[in-house]
Chains A and B, each alone.
Chain A
Amino acid sequence: MAKSKITVPPLVAKQSLWLFGSALLVLAPLVPHLPQWLSALTAVTLLWRGILLWRQAPLPARWLLAFTGIAGAAGIALHFHNLFGRDPGVALLVLLFSLKLLEMRTPRDAFAVVLLGYFLSLTQFFYAQNILNAALTMAGVTSTTAALVVLNHWRQAPLRAVRLAGLMLLQAIPFMLLLFVLFPRVQGPLWGLPIDAYSGLTGLSDSMTPGSLSQLSQSEAIAFRVKFVGKFENKAPPQATLYWRGPVLSQFDGRSWRIGRVFASGRLPYQASGEAVDYVVTLEPHFKPWLFALEFPVSIPAEGLMANDYEILAKTPVRARLRYEMRSYPAIVPGVEESPAVLREALQLPPRSNPRARALAARWREELGADDSAIARSMLDLYRRQLFVYTLSPPLLGEHSVDEFLFDTRRGFCEHFSAGFVFMMRAAGIPARVVTGYQGGEVNPVDGMLVVRQSDAHAWAEVWLRGRGWIRVDPTAAIAPSRIELNLARALPAGEVRPLIALPAFVWLAQMRYRWDALANVWNQWVIGYNPQRQRDLLASLGMRSPDWRQMTVVLTLVCGVLLLGFTAWALYQRQRPVPALAAWNRLSRILARHGLARKPWEGPFDYARRIAATLPGDKAALAGEVARIAEIYARLRYGETDAVLAGQLLQEMKVRVSRIGRLDAPVPAVGSRV
C-alpha cells in the first residue's frame, strides 16, 4: 500500500498544556495514597513543567530526567522495601508519568502520557471504589480524552475538544453498560496478589489484646449491611438481641486472646427453636474467613462452613463484597452436650498469672459451692458495684492485666470486661470463652437496611453450664446497659471523645449520611458487588436460561452489533439538502449550464460573476448584472450576514432573481464557439 511519507510535527504548546491539565486531574486523587516525599517530588515536577510551559522554555536534558527517575525509583524501593507490590507499582507509575511530562517532545511521547493517564485513573480504584471516586475518574478520563483530541487536531478550540470528548464518552456509555452487564465475569484473583493488596483495612482479627477493639470502634467504616425479610422486614429485632457472632477466642496467653482449634463441618450442631429471623447480609470484604450471622444461625451459606464453636467460616477469605441469605433463631442455647476437648480448652489458663483474680475466684468457689451460675452472677455484681467505668480510652495495663483492671484501674472497654469475666470464670473452674463480633447496628430510615459499622465491634462472654449449654453473658451490659440497648454514642459518659457523627448536635449530618448510605448501598450492591454470582442471577432473572460465558458472549456480540449499526446509521444520516442559499446558488449554475456557463467547482461567487460578465456578449449585459447581484447576495448570505430578518429578505430576493433568470426565454448564445 502506498503510504505517504511520515513527517512528525513537534508538539505545540497548546497540546502540552492539555496534557498538563489532565495530569493534574488524574494525579490529584492519588496523592493521599502516595508516600509524602513522592507527592512532593511529583508536585515539584509538575510545577517545573508548568513553569516551562508558561515561559515556553525548552525541556530539560535527558540525563537530568534519567537521574531523577533512577533516584525516585530507588527511593520507592527503600520506602516500600519492594518494587513489585501494588503500592510501589502505583508509585512507580506516578513517577514515570510525571517525568514523562517533562520528556514530552513528539506526539508519540504525548500518546504515551495519555495511556499512562488512563492507567493511573484505574489505580485509584485500588484504594476506594465509591461514587466520589467514580466521578473524579470521569473528570480525569474526559480531560485526558479531550487532550487526545487536541493531540490529533491542535487547532481544535478547548470547549469543542471537551464537548467532543464528552459526546464520545456519552456514546461509549451504552457499550460500557452492555459490557459491564454481559461481559463474562471471572472471580479474581488470577494469580497471587501482592502481599500489600489488602493493607489499610480494618475489622475484627483472630486475636484480641486490651485496646484492640476500642481502636476499632473509632472507625466509621461499614462492616456489613443487613436486610431483614419476612416477619422483621420493616422493623429490625430489638437492639439488645442483635449479637452478630464472629471469631470465638478461647485461648489465653496472659495478655491476648486467640481463636482456639476449630473443626468445621457442614452439619448443624443444634436444633432450631423459638422464633426465626430471616435476613440477607451484604458483607464488606475484610480478608478474613468469618461470615457474620445473628446468634444462632440454622442455615449455612454456600460459601461457608459451620465451626464447632458456632461461628461460620468462609471457605476462602472474603476478598469481595459477599451477599448471603441467613436464618437465625435467637432463642437457641447450643452445646448442652459439649465435647470434653472443647471444655478443656475453655478452662485453660496460663499458670502463675493474675494471682489476685485467681484468689478471688477461689474464694467464691468456696463460698458458693457447686453453683456455677451464682459465681457468674457475683462476677457481674462485682462489675456493677465496684463503679467500673466504660470508656473508649482505658489506661494501659501491665503484666497481670486482669488483676490491674479488676482491682486497680477499673476503667475499660468491652474487651476488658469480657476478658476479665472469662478469666474469673475459668479461674473458678467454669468453662468460658470470649466471643467477638458486632452488637447492634443502625437502621437506615431511607432504605430500611440495618448498617453495622466497625464501631459496633463488640466482645462478650459465653459460659458453659452443665445441663444448660453455652449461655451468653455480656458483662458490658452490666456496666453500660445503654451500649447494648441503644448504641455506643449514648453509652459513653459525657466528655468522652466520640466519633464526630455520633454527636447529638449533628442530626442533620446524620440524616444526610442516611441518604448517602442508602445510595452507597445501591452502588455497592449493583456496581461494586456485581460479581459472577450476581451476574448469573441477574441474567437468569432477565430470562436467560443458562447464563454461561458462551451465551453471554453471543448476546453481547449481538447487542453490541445492533448498537454499532444504530450508531453507523447516525453517522450516515446527514441533511442531504444544502442550506437554502446554497440550493438557490446551485440552481443558478444549473440554469446557466444549459448555455455552457456552469460554475466551475472551484469558482467563488465573485469569480463566477466576473467570468460571466466577461463571456457574455454586450447585449446580454443586463443578465450579467443580474448574476453579479445574485452572487453578491449569495456571498453575503454565506459569509457575511448575521441579521436573521435581513438574511430572510435577501434569501427571498435571491430566489426571485434566480427564478427570473430561469424563466428567461431568450437563450444565451452558446459560448465556446468564440475560440
Chain B
Amino acid sequence: MNLAATLQERFFRWALRGKAPEASPVILTQRRVYVLPTRQGLAYAVSLLVMLVGAINFNLSLGYALVFLLAGLGLTAILHAFRNLVQLRIAPGRCEPVFAGESANFGIVLTNRRNETRPAVRLHLPGQESIEVEIPAQSSMEARLALPALQRGWLALPRITIETNYPLGLIRAWSYAAPEQRCLVYPAPAEVAPPVPAMPGEDGGAARVVAGMEDFAGLRRHQPADPPRHVAWKAAARQNAGPLLTKLFTGAAAHTLWFDWNMLPAGQDVETRLAVLTRWICDARGAGLAWGLSLPGSELAPAGDDEHFHACLKLLALYGQE
C-alpha cells in the first residue's frame, strides 16, 4: 500500500469514528458531517470578490450591502446543507442474495426524524453511480445501492458516502457511514454444464411426495423463481390487488435428483464444480423437480421448495469459506 492509500484509509477510519462496520443505526452526528464549498461555491466566492472590488472602487454603498448579503447567503448555504444531513439515521435494510456477476442491491433505510423533508440527498458506494433520494418528514425510506457482486460468498457493504449540495449547490455536505450489512452472493451458474443427471430416486422411496408437476395440490404466494406457467393467473384476475399465487402440483412420479460433488469429473477445480452444481439446482428448480445436494462434509436432503433452493445455494456460496 502506498502512502496516499494509507493516508486515505486512515482518514476514512477517522471519519467513521472507528472501524467499519458500525453498529446500527448509524446517526450522522454533527461531528461527522463535513462541509466544503463545491466548485460552484468557489466560483461564487470569486464572483463576490470581484463585486466587492467594484463596490469599493465606485464607492457603492449598496454594492457593499449586496455583496455582504450574498456572502451571508453563502454562509447560510453552509448551514442548510449541513442541516440537510445532520442527524440522519442510517440502518441496513433488505438485501436479497444474488448470483455472482449480478449486482447486489443493498437496501439502506434512511430515517428522518425531523419535521421537514430532506430533499436531494445522494448516496453512493465507492466507484459507483450515486442515487438521489428525498426523505420525507418524520419517516423512513429505503434506498437501494447497487454494487457488482463479483465473487461468491459474503459481500460486505462498503463505506457509503452520503452527500448533499442542497439547497444552493454552493456547499457540499457529506458524511461516511458503514452500517453492518452483507449480501450473500451465490456462485454464478455455469453457462456450459453437463445435463442434469437423471438419477432415479432411492428404491422404495416412492412414498415421498415432492413438488411435482402433475396433480394440482394447492396455492401458495408467488416467488420470483417460480416458473411463469405455474402462476395462478385466473386467481390473479379474480382479485384485484392481492399477491400473485403459484399453483403447486404433486407428482409421485417426479424424480428425486441427487447432485453430488463426486459426480463431477475428478480433475475439475472447486469453482467450476460449484458453478455446475448451481446450474443444476437452478435447472431443477425451474423444472419444478426435487433434488438433494451432497457436498464434501455436508448434505441436504431432497426437497423442491424455495427454502431448500436457497439453502442449497447458500451452502454452495459459502463452500470452503466458513
Contacts and interface: CB of A to CB of B under 8 A. Distances in A.
Contact of A153 (B71, B73, B75, B119): B119
Contact of A164 (B60, B113, B140, B167): B167
B293 interface: no
Contacts of B201: none
Contact of B94 (A2, A560, A564, A602): A602
B94 A172 contact: no
A319 B59 contact: yes
- What is the interface residue range for chain A against chain B? 35 or more
A2 B215 CA distance: 56
Interface in A572-596: 572, 574-576, 578-579, 582
Determine which residue in A2, A115, A126 has the highest number of CB atoms from chain B within 10 A of its CB, and name it.
A2
Contacts of B70: 118, 141, 172
A91 to B, nearest CB: 16
Interface stretch (A64-72, A94-102, A449-457, A524-532): A524-532
A126 B58 contact: yes
Nearest to A150: B167
Contact of B73 (A7, A172, A193, A560): A172
Interface string A176-201: 10011001011111110100010000
Contacts of A308: none
A169 B74 CA distance: 10
Contacts of B43: 111, 115
Contact of A122 (B54, B113, B114): B54
A179 B126 CA distance: 41
Determine which residue in A149, A193, A571, A582 has the highest number of CB atoms from chain B within 10 A of its CB, and name it.
A571
B109 A153 contact: no
B79 A122 contact: no
B40 interface: yes
A4 B130 contact: yes
Given A7-B129, A122-B55, A582 B138 contact: yes
A180 B65 contact: yes
Contacts of B63: 122, 125
B73 A126 contact: no
Contacts of B111: 601
Interface in B77-93: 77, 79-80, 82-83, 86-87, 91-93
Contacts of B86: 571-572
B284 interface: no
Determine which residue in B43, B68, B82, B126 has the highest number of CB atoms from chain A within 10 A of its CB, and name it.
B68
A30 B176 CA distance: 47
A572 B28 CA distance: 11
A567 B129 contact: no
Contacts of B3: none
Contacts, number: 194
B223 interface: no
A119 interface: yes
Interface residues of B, number: 67
Contacts of A391: none
Contact of B168 (A152, A319, A571): A152
A255 B47 CA distance: 51
A168 B128 contact: no
A134 B53 contact: no
Contacts of A312: none
Contact of A183 (B64, B126, B127, B130): B64
B139 A638 contact: yes
B166 interface: yes
Given A115-B47, A183-B64, A574-B87, A168 B129 contact: no
A2 B58 contact: no
A601 B167 contact: no
A579 B138 CA distance: 7
Given A152-B167, A572-B87, A2 B62 contact: no
Given A576-B113, A602-B142, A186 B56 contact: yes
A174 B71 CA distance: 11
A1 B8 contact: yes
Contact of A148 (B115, B128, B169): B169
A575 B114 CA distance: 6
Given A4-B130, A118-B47, A189-B58, A155 B68 contact: no
B67 interface: yes
Given A183-B68, A528-B61, A168 B94 contact: no
Nearest to B75: A175
Given A188-B59, A571-B83, A172 B75 contact: yes
Interface in A186-218: 186-191, 193, 197
A137 interface: yes
Interface in A533-592: 560, 564, 567-568, 570-572, 574-576, 578-579, 582
B82 A568 contact: yes
Given A115-B44, A168-B167, A174-B72, A155 B119 contact: yes
Contacts of A530: 61
Interface in A498-537: 527-531
B151 interface: no
Interface string A288-319: 00000000000000000000000000000001
A156 interface: yes
B47 A172 contact: no
B2 interface: no
Nearest to A86: B58
Interface in B126-159: 126-130, 134, 138-140, 142
A111 B73 contact: no
A145 interface: yes
Contact of A133 (B58, B62, B107, B119): B62
B253 to A, nearest CB: 30
B60 A601 contact: no
B89 to A, nearest CB: 9
Nearest to A528: B61
Given A2-B126, A148-B168, A188-B59, A122 B66 contact: yes
B247 interface: no
Interface string B88-124: 0001111000000000000101010111000110101
B119 A189 contact: no
A5 B54 CA distance: 38
Contacts of A4: 122, 124, 128-130, 161
A346 to B, nearest CB: 38
B61 A190 contact: no
Contacts of A148: 167-169
Contacts of A133: 62
Given A4-B124, A122-B66, A152-B169, A601 B72 contact: no
A175 B113 contact: no
A639 to B, nearest CB: 9
Interface string B274-311: 00000000000000000000000000000000000000
Contacts of A115: 43-44, 47
Contacts of B109: 601-602
B93 A567 contact: no
Given A4-B122, A5-B129, A188-B56, A168 B76 contact: yes
Given A119-B51, A152-B168, A188-B58, A176 B65 contact: yes
B59 A527 contact: no
Q: Sorted from nearest, which 7 A-B pairs have the closest CB atoms? A: A172-B72, A175-B72, A179-B68, A571-B83, A2-B126, A601-B109, A4-B124
12 contacts: A5-B128, A125-B55, A125-B62, A129-B60, A145-B168, A152-B167, A155-B134, A176-B65, A188-B59, A531-B61, A567-B76, A572-B83
Given A153-B119, A189-B57, 19 more contacts: A4-B128, A5-B127, A111-B40, A115-B47, A122-B67, A125-B66, A137-B62, A149-B168, A153-B120, A320-B59, A567-B79, A568-B30, A571-B80, A571-B82, A571-B83, A574-B114, A579-B138, A602-B93, A602-B142
Interface of B: 8, 30, 40, 43-44, 47, 51, 53-73, 75-77, 79-80, 82-83, 86-87, 91-94, 107, 109, 111, 113-115, 119-120, 122, 124, 126-130, 134, 138-140, 142, 161, 165-169
